[in-house]
Amino acid sequence: MIKQNWSKQATANSDVLDLEKGVFTWSDPKLIAQSLKCSAENSVRRKSSPYKSAMSMLNFYINRAGSNLTDTQLSILNQAKVELHKQFQESKN
């Protein structure tokens, strides 16, 4: 039997990234991006670059939460994508 909340479990118990509790519910896109970046950079289980791993987890959450996200939270998470890109670009310099 397949669990109905498999995406919630995947986000909470990621095999790739150790996420801070509630990271996707935070209201500051910079803090969300910073947390995801830190988790991705510190992970020894990821198979792709830290940037791809962090962005994949963020996209996974957005896609799976879908219509359950408020417009405000969706906007914050989309801003976090932009911020995540900026933070990884800044760390290259």
Count the helices and strands in the chain (H runs, E runs).
4, 0
Q: Is residue 10 part of a domain?
A: no
State the residue range of the domain holding 45.
Answer: 25-92
* Interval 28-52: pLDDT, tens: 999 999 999 999 999 888 888 999 9
Write down the pTM of the prediction: 0.82
Q: Is residue 71 part of a domain?
A: yes
Q: Is residue 39 part of a domain?
A: yes
Burial of 58 (0-12, 13-18, 19+ CB in 10 A): buried
Q: What is the rounded distance in angstroms from the CA atom of residue 29 to the CA atom of residue 10? A: 21
How many domains does the chain contain in total? Answer: 1
Q: Give the per-residue pLDDT at 10.
A: 52
Q: Is residue 1 part of a domain?
A: no
Better pLDDT: 27 or 16: 27
